[in-house]
Homo-oligomer: A and B are copies of this chain.
């Protein structure tokens, strides 16, 4: 979990400038718990403009500081990420997210490469369910 200074420095080494707005957005992101929408950052930020929030979020995606979480309703959220490529287990009740560090489909990629003529370049995978706590709280609903 990198700190503000580390992130800024890494950006500087890649040629990005160390600006006050950028720092404010990154600080707001680092203060988040769980997953959050871009709009959450926009509201938490004082002077940084909306466009800058979007621009900075894209930078943080590219540098793997945050990962994207596709909610079941289609909304796109973000989340601090200390690991590389991974997938999510999202609780549809409490919104809790669990990282799955082992990529389930990695082993599938070579199989796909053989069975089809496609060259696989990427994939999107999210799991939805109800976490243990929520199942205890409302046991009447059970997965099929």
Which of A's residues lie within 8 Å of B, judged by CB?
70, 72, 74, 76, 89, 91-92, 98, 104-105, 108, 112, 116-133, 135, 142-144
Pick the residue among B72, B124, B131 that contacts A125 (CB under 8 A). B124
Verify B112–A127 contact, CB threshold 8 A. Answer: yes
- Inter-subunit contact A135/B119 (CB<8 Å): yes
A128 to B118, CA, bound (A): 9
A105 pairs with B129, CB closer than 8 A = no
Give the shortest distance, in Å, between A144 (CB) and chain B (any CB): 8
Report Cα–Cα, A131/B76, bound state, in Å: 27
Determine how close the nearest CB of chain B comes to the CB of A17; give it in whole angstroms: 27
Residue of B nearest to A132 (CB): B117
In the complex, chain B residues whose CB is within 8 Å of the CB of A132: 116-118
Q: Taking CB as reference atom, which chain B residue is nearest A124?
A: B126
Cα separation A132 to B129 with both chains bound (whole Å): 36
Chain B residues closer than 8 Å to A121, beta-carbon distance: 92, 128-130, 143-144
